[in-house]
């Protein structure tokens, strides 16, 4: 097992990449705080907790809007107390919504930045304090290929993910002396609820598959496996960089 005895927080862990990651960390021996956003996701989050407990480690679900400072402070404090520390944070929670730039309301903009960027910052800061005061740790942000590929209709999303790239790099420099490694994983198209609008539309799905040299949309497990490795001692010399997991999407296959 890669992560025996480690204590993790995974945000947005009721579904998609967050769920797969929380379950994978549990299977690798970590105890996990399973963050979820609202009452609607409670049952799904509790199901993730049961899966992890069955694998033999501890887990608990914690409802928090990660863009709310006091909620994040409470979540990290409770994780540290209940698990006995926090040495791994997976900043996974994220939202996206297609809106043309010139029609984008301030509300649309703020909603995406609130979760994807401010939420990641708050969790990084609070969990980072616990790690810095203990034996160090690892922070993995689930970013996107849109931390470097522009995507019309998703300017707020791209802005949040691009910002996450330099937040990660700056944090990696600032926290290296405290034995905290900070990384991004940039997934391409993955089968998750965030992509439902594409997966449910055969034509749109086909268009996305055509953008991917490996010819298929990825699975959440293919991201979770990378989080487990990056968080483990096997990746002890890796910090300040982005691991792209996109089936080759960022090779721009349409550019001939
Ligand atoms: C988005 C997906 C999109 C993928 C590739 C991800 O960040 O969440 O909706 O399919 O990037 O464009």
What local confidence, expressed as pLDDT, does residue 232 receive?
A: 98
Tens digit of each residue's pLDDT (9 = 90 or more) over 46-104: 999 999 999 999 999 999 999 999 999 999 999 999 999 999 999 999 999 999 999 99
pLDDT at 253 over 80: no
φ, ψ at 120 (rounded to 5°): -65, -40
Q: Find the 195 Cα to ligand 1 centroid distance in Å.
A: 7
What local confidence, expressed as pLDDT, does residue 94 receive?
A: 98
Name the CATH topology of 7-188+219-247: Rossmann fold (3.40.50)
- The residue whose CA is least distant from atom 2 of ligand 1 is 189
Q: How far is residue 112's CA from residue 120's CA, in Å, rounded to a whole number?
A: 12
Instruction: Ligand 1, residue 217: give the atom nearest the CA.
Output: 10
Tens digit of each residue's pLDDT (9 = 90 or more) over 142-151: 999 999 999 9
Stated pTM of the model: 0.97
Q: Which two tokens stand for residue 204?
A: 């749109």
Q: Find the 84 Cα to ligand 1 centroid distance in Å.
A: 35
pLDDT category of residue 256 using cuts at 50, 70 and 90: low
Name, in order, each residue with C-beta under 8 angstroms of 106's C-beta and a sequence gap of 6 or more. Answer: none
**Looking at residues 5-12, what average pLDDT do you find?**
98
Name, in order, each residue with C-beta under 8 angstroms of 50's C-beta and a sequence gap of 6 or more. Answer: none
pLDDT category of residue 254 using cuts at 50, 70 and 90: confident
φ, ψ at 254 (rounded to 5°): -85, -10
Q: Find the 179 Cα to ligand 1 centroid distance in Å.
A: 32
Instruction: Please give the residue that has the higher pLDDT: either 108 or 194.
Output: 108
Name, in order, each residue with C-beta under 8 angstroms of 94's C-beta and a sequence gap of 6 or more. Answer: 12, 115, 116, 142, 144, 160, 194
Q: Find the 235 Cα to ligand 1 centroid distance in Å.
A: 26
**Looking at residues 202-213, what average pLDDT do you find?**
94
Computed on alpha carbons and rounded to an integer, the radius of gyration of the chain in Å comes to 17
Q: Find the 198 Cα to ligand 1 centroid distance in Å.
A: 10
Least confident of 56-65, 67-76, 122-131, 187-196: 187-196
Work out the end-to-end distance of the chain between its first and last CA atoms, rounded to an integer number of angstroms: 44
Instruction: Ligand 1, residue 208: give the atom nearest the CA.
Output: 10
| Residues 201, 205, 206, 211, CA torsion sign | positive
What local confidence, expressed as pLDDT, does residue 233 receive?
A: 97
Our answer to whether residue 237 is catalytic in this structure is: no
Q: How far is residue 20's CA from residue 11's CA, in Å, rounded to a whole number?
A: 12
Query: CB count, 10 Å around CB of 119?
Result: 27
pLDDT category of residue 255 using cuts at 50, 70 and 90: low
Instruction: Ligand 1, residue 144: give the atom nearest the CA.
Output: 7
87 three-class SS: coil
- The residue whose CA is least distant from atom 9 of ligand 1 is 195
Task: Give the residue, out of 144, 214, 248, with the most ligand 1 atoms within 8 A of its beta carbon, to mutate for a pocket test.
Answer: 144
**Which residues sit with their C-beta closer than 6 Å to ligand 1?**
96, 144-146, 188-189, 194-195, 198, 208
- The residue whose CA is least distant from atom 7 of ligand 1 is 144
Q: How far is residue 28's CA from residue 91's CA, in Å, rounded to a whole number?
A: 18
Domain boundaries, the chain: 7-188+219-247
């Amino acid at each position: 097992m890669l992560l025996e005895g480690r204590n993790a927080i995974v945000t947005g862990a009721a579904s998609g990449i967050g769920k797969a990651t929380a379950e994978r960390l549990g299977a690798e021996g970590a105890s996990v705080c399973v963050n979820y956003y609202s009452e609607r996701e409670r049952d799904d989050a509790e199901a993730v907790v049961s899966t992890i407990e069955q694998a033999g480690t501890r887990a608990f679900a914690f409802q928090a809007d990660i863009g709310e400072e006091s909620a994040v402070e409470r979540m990290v404090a409770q994780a540290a107390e209940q698990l006995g520390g926090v040495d791994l944070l997976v900043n996974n929670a994220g939202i996206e919504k297609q809106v043309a730039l010139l029609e984008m309301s301030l509300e649309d903009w703020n909603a995406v930045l609130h979760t994807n960027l401010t939420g990641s910052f708050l969790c990084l800061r609070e969990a980072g304090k616990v790690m810095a005061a203990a034996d160090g740790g690892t922070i993995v942000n689930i970013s996107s290929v849109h931390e470097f590929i522009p995507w019309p209709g998703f300017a707020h999303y791209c802005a949040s993910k691009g910002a996450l790239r330099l937040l990660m790099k700056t944090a990696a420099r600032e926290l290296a002396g405290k034995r905290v490694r900070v990384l991004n994983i940039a997934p391409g198209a993955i089968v998750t609820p965030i992509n439902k609008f594409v997966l449910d539309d055969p034509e749109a799905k086909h268009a996305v598959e055509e953008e991917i040299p490996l010819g298929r949309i990825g699975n959440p497990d293919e991201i979770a496996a990378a989080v487990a490795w990056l968080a483990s001692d096997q990746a002890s010399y890796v910090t300040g960089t982005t691991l792209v997991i996109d089936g080759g999407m960022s090779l721009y296959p349409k550019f001939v």
